Amino acid sequence: MNAKRKGSRVEREIKKIFEEKGLKVVRSAGSLGSADLHVELIGHVQVKARKEVSIYKWLEGNDAVVIKADRQEPLIVLPLEKFLEVL
């Protein structure tokens, strides 16, 4: 499967998950600037699909991971289902 088709498939999967939780979602065929989805209550969401992402190792045994690069705002990463529970 080529990267573009894989990305589109994952975007549709994520869109469906948000919609199943009752959130309104708009998927942009050409992207909304840098975003793939616009999700009610969240805003613009960029979806990335990769074969391997090391952040999963950091998340093992934890509910969330906070990452911060030098001179950048901290980010929190948590499983989508966990996020939707607290939303």
Same domain for 62 and 35, yes or no, is no
Q: Whole-prediction pTM value?
A: 0.80
pLDDT of residue 52: 82
Enter the DSSP assignment of 63: S
Domain of residue 45, residue span: 1-50
The pLDDT tens digits for 14-30 are: 999 999 999 999 998 66
DSSP per-residue codes, 2-61:
-HHHHHHHHHHHHHHHHHHTT--EEEEEEEETTEEEEETTTEEE-----S--THHHHHTT
Domain count, the chain: 2
Same domain for 44 and 69, yes or no, is no
Same domain for 57 and 23, yes or no, is no
Same domain for 59 and 75, yes or no, is yes
